[in-house]
């Protein structure tokens, strides 16, 4: 197995990973970044990003990630395509294996592996992804102003997304699989009190319907009666949760029950010294490109401080 040593290893290549790379590289820390299985992260599946400050005309998601990559490389970040397959944070420095054939000895590790939206698993979801199917109402709701949309889910995030969309759209159909919601009482109340939200109880999504222009409707099936019906919508929003891409760290890092990495509030520090978590791998609340970028900056600054303190220790040893 090949072995290499680095001061700062960044795992992941979305807004958080690239921002961490820009800051670490400018600080002269010569970071190495591994892109992971989806270079550019979730934003590469988004056509139009209109809410990232500094782009008055909006920007295409993949283009934005390419710009961030170039900026990170400009300051000397080494970007490698590869998947981190295992880690060992039991001692110091940290050991990370990439593609099962390269071992990296890292003084600091910044985890920016992101999260993946959960999908229903029906073929039409994939077919209409970005053509009316979305996993983020805050990101994409604006494109459906004055239109009719559907939201699938029964938890707080589904209730939140439906309420958010109700302010923009003429009507929101909330598709709930059982005869009750998992959302907190206050969120349920908000949904029920919103006149343009219609809840479809005991209902599964059978198929998303559409044509070359995108989504035109959805076929629903009632669990109790087996009855099918079609409703006309232009947007279909998934709100059945996200799964953070953190499984390989679970033997070492403190996480919540879903797998989001716990950090010391107001920082990017994990329970292991020299390991920092940024972006959607540690954020289940905001999940925006801009907040991910902000925590990426925090991760690099925290890593820089940690390395400076380590150097002082060595000098005084």
* Region 83-105 average pLDDT: 96
Measured between alpha carbons, how far is 258 from 206 in angstroms, rounded to an integer?
Answer: 27
Q: Average model confidence (pLDDT) for the chain?
A: 95
Residue 49 confidence class, pLDDT cut points 50, 70, 90? confident
Query: What tens digit of pLDDT does each residue of 283-300 get?
Result: 998 889 999 999 999 999
Q: Give the pTM.
A: 0.86
CA–CA distances in Å: residue 218 to residues 72, 104, 149, 200, 210: 42, 48, 10, 12, 8
Segments of the chain assigned E as strands: 2-11, 32-34, 48-49, 59-60, 78-80, 84-88, 94-98, 102-111, 115-117, 133-134, 148-152, 171-175, 197-200, 203-211, 214-222, 228-232, 235-238, 242-244, 275-277
Confidence at residue 44, expressed as pLDDT on a 0 to 100 scale:
79
Domain 2-116+242-316 in this protein, CATH class: alpha beta
Confidence at residue 117, expressed as pLDDT on a 0 to 100 scale:
87
Q: Is the pLDDT of residue 1 over 90?
A: no
Query: What tens digit of pLDDT does each residue of 6-26 get?
Result: 999 999 999 999 999 999 999
Measured between alpha carbons, how far is 121 from 237 in angstroms, rounded to an integer?
Answer: 14
Confidence at residue 202, expressed as pLDDT on a 0 to 100 scale:
97
Q: List CB contacts of 247: < 8 A, sequence separation 6 or more.
A: 259
Confidence at residue 314, expressed as pLDDT on a 0 to 100 scale:
85
Query: Are domains 2-116+242-316 and 119-238 of this chain identical in fold?
Result: yes
Q: Is the pLDDT of residue 45 over 80?
A: no
Q: How far is CA 304 from the centre of its chain?
A: 25
Q: Is the pLDDT of residue 83 over 80?
A: yes
Residue 315 confidence class, pLDDT cut points 50, 70, 90? confident
Confidence at residue 74, expressed as pLDDT on a 0 to 100 scale:
97
Residue 141 confidence class, pLDDT cut points 50, 70, 90? very high
The answer to whether the Cα torsion of 195, 196, 198, 204 is positive or negative is: negative
Q: At what angle do helices 185-192 and 156-166 cross, to 10 degrees?
A: 30
* Region 180-194 average pLDDT: 94
Confidence at residue 105, expressed as pLDDT on a 0 to 100 scale:
98
Under DSSP, the state recorded for 262 is: P
Residue 85 confidence class, pLDDT cut points 50, 70, 90? very high
| Lowest-confidence pick of 43-57, 123-137, 226-240, 259-273 | 43-57
Domain 119-238 in this protein, CATH class: alpha beta
* 72 closest CA partner among 159, 14, 150: 14
Confidence at residue 311, expressed as pLDDT on a 0 to 100 scale:
92
* 247 closest CA partner among 93, 97, 115: 115
Q: Is the pLDDT of residue 47 over 80?
A: no
Q: Does an H or E element contain 316, and which?
A: helix 289-316
Residue 139 confidence class, pLDDT cut points 50, 70, 90? confident
Q: Is the pLDDT of residue 46 over 90?
A: no
Tell me if 44 sits within 8 A of 62, measured CB to CB: yes
Q: Is the pLDDT of residue 134 over 90?
A: yes
Q: Is the pLDDT of residue 212 over 90?
A: yes
Tokens (6 digits) for 127: 């077919």
Measured between alpha carbons, how far is 188 from 176 in angstroms, rounded to an integer?
Answer: 12
Q: Does an H or E element contain 178, and which?
A: none
**Domain edges within the chain:** 2-116+242-316, 119-238
Residues marked as catalytic: 136, 139-140
């Amino acid at each position: 197995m090949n072995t290499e040593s680095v001061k700062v290893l960044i795992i992941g290549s979305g807004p958080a990973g690239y921002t961490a790379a820009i800051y670490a590289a400018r600080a002269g820390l010569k970071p190495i970044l591994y892109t992971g299985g989806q270079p550019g992260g979730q934003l590469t599946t988004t056509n139009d990003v209109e809410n990232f400050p500094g782009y008055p005309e909006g920007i295409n998601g993949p283009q934005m990630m390419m710009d961030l990559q170039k900026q990170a490389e400009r300051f000397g970040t080494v970007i490698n395509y590869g998947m981190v397959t295992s880690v060992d944070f039991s001692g110091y420095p940290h050991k990370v294996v990439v593609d099962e054939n390269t071992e990296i000895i890292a003084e600091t590790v910044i985890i920016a592996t992101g999260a993946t939206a959960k999908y229903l698993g029906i073929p039409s979801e994939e077919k209409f992804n970005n053509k009316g199917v979305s996993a983020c109402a805050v990101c994409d709701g604006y494109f459906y102003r004055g239109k009719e949309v559907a939201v699938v889910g029964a938890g707080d995030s589904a209730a939140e997304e439906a309420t958010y969309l109700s302010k923009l759209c003429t009507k929101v159909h909330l598709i709930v699989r059982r005869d009750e919601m998992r959302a907190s009482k206050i969120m349920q109340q908000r949904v029920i009190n919103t006149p343009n939200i219609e809840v479809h109880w005991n209902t599964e999504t059978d198929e998303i319907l559409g044509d070359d222009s995108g989504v035109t409707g959805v076929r629903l099936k009632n669990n109790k009666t087996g009855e099918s019906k079609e409703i006309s919508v232009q947007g279909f929003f998934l709100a059945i949760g996200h799964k953070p891409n953190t499984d390989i760290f679970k033997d070492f890092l403190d996480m919540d029950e879903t797998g989001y990495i716990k950090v010391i509030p107001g920082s990017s520090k994990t329970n292991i010294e020299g390991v920092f978590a940024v972006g959607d791998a540690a954020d289940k609340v905001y999940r925006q490109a801009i907040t991910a970028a902000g925590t990426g900056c925090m991760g690099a600054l925290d890593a820089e401080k940690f390395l400076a303190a380590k150097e002082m220790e060595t000098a005084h040893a």
